[in-house]
Structure 1
Amino acid sequence: MQNGLTFATVMTGLPTGIQPMDLTSDRRQFQRINFDRQAHLTLADQSLVCEIIDLSLHGALVNLSDSKMAESSLINQTGQLTFHLGDKDHSINMTVTVSHHEQQNVGLECTDIDLDSISHLRRMIELNTGDSQLLKREFAALLNP
């Protein structure tokens, strides 16, 4: 060990005790990007303020930390997720279904999205991943499930 580095750290880039994610066990088909943004989620005739944790072409993970809805079962409920991109002129609106709910985190599957919103979302993901070919494959998979 030199300069506080162990063999495991050098080989994996991770500190001892931290295991790299097994990509073969990750079932996600779409690349996710971290996206810390406030959004509005409408579920069961209630408009909730939430924080987006991450986004993909296929959905989002949000945190409902200030909501009593975080305590109830939300699985399979349909709603609307809306958030702005930096300015008030550009927003993303998607119809979502709650796919999983664990404590205050809620996984949302995008079931419908308008053309402007998907265009903005696609460009944002492309800029954040830096891999336009991967995004093209994901977009094709989204269009042809």
Structure 2
Amino acid sequence: MTERRHYTRIIFANDAVLSNGHYNWTVKLIDLSLNGALISHPDQVLPSQLNHQDSFNLTFTLPQSDNVSVQMSVKIVHVEPEVLGLRCEKMDIDSATHLRRIVELNMASEDLLMRELEHLIEQKI
């Protein structure tokens, strides 16, 4: 079965922190979308610490900003040897605004951005 993506992925190489309330792992952010992120597999993590049922927090600071950060609650949707795919479960309004702006600045079409935002809203309701 082929998965059909509804969200444009933006290459966004940046440091980030993945945490589960007990552990914090430094990871590399590889790409972003309005619905999640792709990150490097955390170093020195035990497989039992990455339970797909658990919620994690992903936090990263925007480059060239005065410590503006994006924080989102995420779940792991796929694991590969080098990367983890994360789905955003929720985020605060400031983080959502910053994420929207990042995606907007990297998309070729404002119409496509609006369609993705509408799809995201429909999916979350």
TM-score range, shorter chain: 0.7 to 0.9
Following TM superposition, by how much is the alpha carbon of 1:89 offset from its aligned partner in structure 2, in angstroms?
3.1
**1:143 is matched by which residue type in structure 2?**
I
Deviation at 1:88, TM superposition (A): 3.7
Specify whether residues 44 and 102 from structure 1 end up closer, same or farther in structure 2 by C-alpha distance, changes over 3 A only.
Answer: farther
Gaps of 5+ in 2: none
Q: Which runs of 4+ in 1 moved over 2 A?
A: 73-77
- The one of 106, 109, 121 equivalent to 2:99 is 121
The residue type paired with residue 80 of structure 1 is: N
Name the residue aligned to 1:89: 67
TM-score (ref. length: structure 2): 0.87
- Please say if 1:138 is aligned against 2:113: no
Q: Which amino acid aligns with 2:39?
A: V
The structure whose Rg is larger is 1
How far 1:26 sits from its partner (Å)? Answer: 5.2
> What pairs up with 1:69-108 in 2 under 5 angstroms?
69=45, 72=47, 74=50, 75-86=52-63, 87-108=65-86
Structure 1 stretches lacking a partner, 5+ long = 1-24
Question: RMSD of the alignment, in Å?
Answer: 1.5
Partner of 1:48: 25
Question: Which residue is 1:32 aligned to?
Answer: 9
Alignment partners' CA distance in 2, 1:89 and 1:38: 13
Correspondent of 1:59 among 9, 32, 36? 36
TM-score when scaled to structure 1?
Answer: 0.76
